[in-house]
Amino acid sequence: MNIDRWTRRIALLFVALTALLSGCTTYVTTQVTAFSAWSGSDATRTYAFTRRDDQQNNLELSAYERIVANELAVHSFREVARNDARYLVELAYGIRSDIVTVAEPVYYNPWPGPYWGRRPFDPWGPWGPFPATYVNQSYPVFTHLLGVRITERASGNEVYNVTARNFGGESSLVRAMPYLARSALADFPLANGAVHTVKIPAGGAGPGVNEVSLPAATPGGASAPAAASGAKAGQ
């Protein structure tokens, strides 16, 4: 899956701004785009995963399929043998890295220790009496991607295709995948051409104001971490 040039620039700008406020971030924010011709019912939501020939023994893909299966089960999908399935589900995933450079302020305070920055001993406070100078700091930024494509097994027609994308300092796609999977399938099925944002509490943070909690993961698939136990979405 390709990220166009403007999307990358916007993403890097977003991360540059949030890097200065890293201590305040409490959500994993994921952009979700869906294309849909969905007309299925709960009674017909049987599926099997499908793979290319070169993916048959891919252990990484197996792990991601279990995470996605867990989220599909929330929406009444039931995994069965391929010949018994109405739908085939295919995954695409990836991670890429970029470097973002941020100009960060550095303050000079000539007041001697041990009372530097401590009022009333230091009349200038922690910022000092001189204007800030700026030093460029570089940070790695990672883009995580998950695509879920659903086709009818009998006809081969594509009925649902959703992509989830998020950005941040997490270098592991494995750790990002539960958030991607839950975001991709939030509010299933989305309208054709829908683009929205899903926010999931990170690091065990509780639900936020006006948050829509996603259903708890069901047995039978790989459980998402506690950090992905709730989400809120906005158009």
DSSP 130-164: SPPEEEEEEEEEEEEEEEEEEEETTT--EEEEEEE
Residue 118: pLDDT band with limits 50, 70, 90: low
Q: How far is CA 76 from CA 9, 40, 69, 128, 218, in A?
A: 38, 11, 11, 60, 10
- Looking at 20-127, list the stretches that DSSP marks H as alpha helix, in order from N- to C-terminal side: 59-74
Q: Read off the pLDDT of residues 35-63 as tens digits, 9 standing for 90 and up.
A: 999 987 778 899 999 999 999 999 999 99
Could you tell me which residue, 23 or 103, shows the higher pLDDT?
Answer: 103
Percent of the chain at pLDDT exceeding 90: 49
Residue 54 one-letter amino acid: D
* Domain residue limits at 44: 5-234
SS3 for 80-99 is: CCHHHCCEEEEEEEEEEEEE
Q: The CATH number of the domain where 103 resides is what?
A: 3.30.160.670
Could you tell me which residue, 220 or 99, shows the higher pLDDT?
Answer: 99
Q: What span, in angstroms and rounded, lies between the C-alpha atoms of 87 and 40? A: 10
Block residue for tokens 């989305």: 190
Does pLDDT of 193 surpass 80?
Answer: yes
What's the total number of domains in the chain? 1
Mean pLDDT of 220-229: 34
